[in-house]
Structure 1
């Protein structure tokens, strides 16, 4: 029987985590420009999230990283608004309820940090992800917020915490 746990990212996770995220982005057909694919942070996730009010969580199965998601203040936006960032899961992590568990972990952390709203960006064709976001209370927006640099992401959502 496998052991699955959600925990904070550690320095030794950087390389494997970057590979997981890039593999999922490629699988999903996400453009490599104007999306998380080209973020410098992908290769230094521990360092990127090792600051106040930011946290990245990984899903680990039997010692292998199979997904993750993070919370950080939304760039160039009100300090009460955070962003759900880089939530990606390998195929073997899907359909096990891990997305819901990860959302709960991230949103609880956001509330603890004093955020009152959570924003996210995704791709319109990522229907399963958008269904999950809708189930936990995210509502569609007509235009993006903040300054994420992800101009290729064309679906925006927000949720009151």
Structure 2
């Protein structure tokens, strides 16, 4: 038996010992997944469904069905998120807190029955070995290298032109005129950038570029323009978009800009939702034909002094 088979054998034995194959977890009338959700909510962290889904590694649709059942059972409740009106904070009801306490007591009793009579030194050794296993597995699943935001440098402009051209052609059907526009914007920035009032950032992780954002001067004093906001598909959902936007807006405020504007398209739903979440207002939406396709151009703005 090799190492992989020995790990599999341990998992099977531990699964059987915990009773995870039975219809109800700890004979408490709940599935293992339902009990785990209750345990997590009992910690009082203030999970949203999306965050809890990622934390537990559960499909969002499956978790939604679990939460629905627990809600109908009177164990889970939702309250409006104080900073994001579209999101909800999950929590336990009074009955849910009682059930969580019951599950904790049952779980402790189960473990206590296993180690009852075990010499103290042997128990301490067992716990130390379990912690060593957890630490070893945690190292294997350590977070990816930190994302670094760097100033625009040699080679970045060419990468930006290529990525804008390829991604927008693939995802939205843009023709080559969009790639030409991006090249013109970048050429103007490189040739005429005012370093006291304009800056571009490129997001890097583990030697690869993931995205960008630029702050440039607008057509009137005190007005900043947000440009070149790009995230590669593999970088989406990591919070990098919010970090880039925060960095750009903070720079604009620190530099003395009073207002920021940006131009985008209605089809960029994720980006538009991020703008709205951060206080931008939609000023205009105009149907146009650009880059070989029909679009709705949007202008957004925000008062940076507010």
The two structures share one fold, judged by TM-score above 0.5: yes
Structure-2 separation of matches of 1:137 and 1:36: 30
Q: Does 1:158 align with 2:301?
A: yes
Greater helix content: 2
Higher relative contact order, chain-length normalized (CA < 8 Å, sep 6+): 1
Residues 61-140 of structure 1 aligned to structure 2 (within 5 Å)? 61-74=205-218, 77-140=219-282
Q: Does 1:51 align with 2:175?
A: no
Q: Report deviation, 1:138.
A: 0.4
Larger Rg: 2
Q: Report deviation, 1:30.
A: 5.7
Distance verdict in 2 for CA 1:36–1:19, change over 3 Å? closer
Aligned length: 154
Q: Contact 1:18–1:42 (CA<8 Å) still a contact in 2?
A: no
Which residues of structure 1 form unaligned runs of 5+? 145-149
Q: Contact 1:20–1:89 (CA<8 Å) still a contact in 2?
A: no
CA-based RMSD: 2.7
Which residues of structure 2 form unaligned runs of 5+? 1-143
Q: Deviations over 1:105-134 (max 9, x none)?
A: 101111122111110111111111100000
Q: Report deviation, 1:50.
A: 4.2
Q: Deviations over 1:34-91 (max 9, x none)?
A: 75652333664872574331111111111111110101012xx321111100101110
Structure-1 separation of matches of 2:240 and 2:192: 21
SS of equivalent to 1:85:
strand
Q: Report deviation, 1:143.
A: 6.1
Q: Contact 1:8–1:56 (CA<8 Å) still a contact in 2?
A: yes
Greater strand content: 1
